[in-house]
Amino acid sequence: MSFRASVKRVLYGLYTRRLAKRLAGIAGPRHVGMIIDGNRRWAEQQAGVSVAEGHRAGAAKMREFLTWCDEAGVEVVTLYLLSTDNLTGRPSEELKNLVRIIADLATDLAAVPNWRVHHVGDATRLPAPLRNALERASQVTETHTGLHVNLAVGYGGRHEITVAVHDIIREHEAAGKGIDTLADDITLDNIADHLYTAGQPDLDLVIRTSGEQRISDFMLWQTAHSELYFVEALGPDLREIDFLRALRDFASRQRRYGK
């Protein structure tokens, strides 16, 4: 490492610690969403690096990101790893690699002491190895009380809301109620209780990497009042200072909730 690079690393570390100290004691987000993006572009910019290696680098960064969230006192983090659109829109070989990478990430996260791993998404649309890995991670961590990690895999916001309404209708029918009272069951609270995130706080802050500024069907219901923060860095290049700046930006905003 060159002298200039060494100095830069030292200064970066000092700045990171100073900003973290400044944020200590300031009310932060309870629930953070991460739309990890740019893994393929990152791989294309590296000499001799495959797309699969780009996705694996992105997954490793998400493990690091969760540690930053835990240290900052965040209660719930939702990682958007694989959308319902990805299941049909990605090349088959890339999708196979993603399935293995996400399964490995779920297993790795389940081994972290006291973290709770929870799958959000349509498990029926996933390949069996990935579905099984997510189920195991959820089962072995279900009694943990630390950082709650939602893995959004095979997830789509519109699909989630549609499934929630279908479930409400089925429950209504099973209870022997008539169509004339069905509208009474379609309420904001009842829909929220039938989402994958039932019982969890809505997202306070959503971060997206790679400079893209869109939601991409992520948690459409739960992000109704979320603050959005877009980072230019590609997924694997995300730094702790980027995360801390997002927290600083969140703390500076006035959340009016329509008032």
- Annotated catalytic residues are 37, 86
Distances (CA, A) of 204 to 31, 85, 125, 175: 5, 25, 28, 35
Please give the Cα distance from 145 to 136 (Å, whole number).
17
259 vs 249: CA distance, rounded Å: 20
Q: Are 53 and 43 in contact (CB under 8 A)?
A: yes
Cα 18 from Cα 84, distance rounded (Å): 40
Q: Are 225 and 200 contacting, i.e. CB atoms less than 8 angstroms apart?
A: no
Answer whether 120's CB lies under 8 Å from 77's CB. no
**Whether 86 contacts 98, CB under 8 Å:** yes
The single-letter DSSP state of residue 165 is H
Of 34, 65, 61, nearest to 209 by C-alpha is 34
Cα gap 57→42, rounded to integer Å: 9
Confirm if 33 and 206 have CB atoms less than 8 A apart. Answer: yes
